[in-house]
Amino acid sequence: MKLITVEARFSHGEANNAIATFEEAAPSIRKMSGCHTYDVYRASSRNGAIVILQKWETMDAFDAYRTSADFAAIGGKLKPLMAGPPTTTIADIVG
């Protein structure tokens, strides 16, 4: 299993728009083959940071998401709102 965390910062006042974009796309992403978890959290600091926590069965399943229309649509909406590039961490987990 792969645990993917994505940390992203958004321009002042845009974190709510970013979260809404992720939440709008989440139901279809959660239905993708190999997706176990796809959740969005606001970071505890007030700097516009959010964290996307995902669990995917395999790296191939995650790669299929990253090449999907859903991923492209989210990226197109979020990129102009970001205060900098996101940080993605991929870990192997059991369970």
The two structure tokens encoding residue 86: 């996101």
Q: What is the pTM of this model?
A: 0.88
Domains and CATH numbers, the chain: 2-92 (3.30.70.100)
- Distance in angstroms (rounded) separating the CA atoms of residues 94 and 13: 37
pLDDT bucket at 95, cuts 50 / 70 / 90: low
Amino acid, single-letter form, for residue 25: A
DSSP string, 20-46: HHHHHHHHHHHTSTTEEEEEEEE-SSS
pLDDT tens-place string over residues 24-59? 999 999 999 999 999 999 876 667 889 999 999 999
**DSSP code, position 81:** G
- Distance in angstroms (rounded) separating the CA atoms of residues 16 and 78: 11
In sequence order, the β-bridge partners of residue 6 are 52, 88
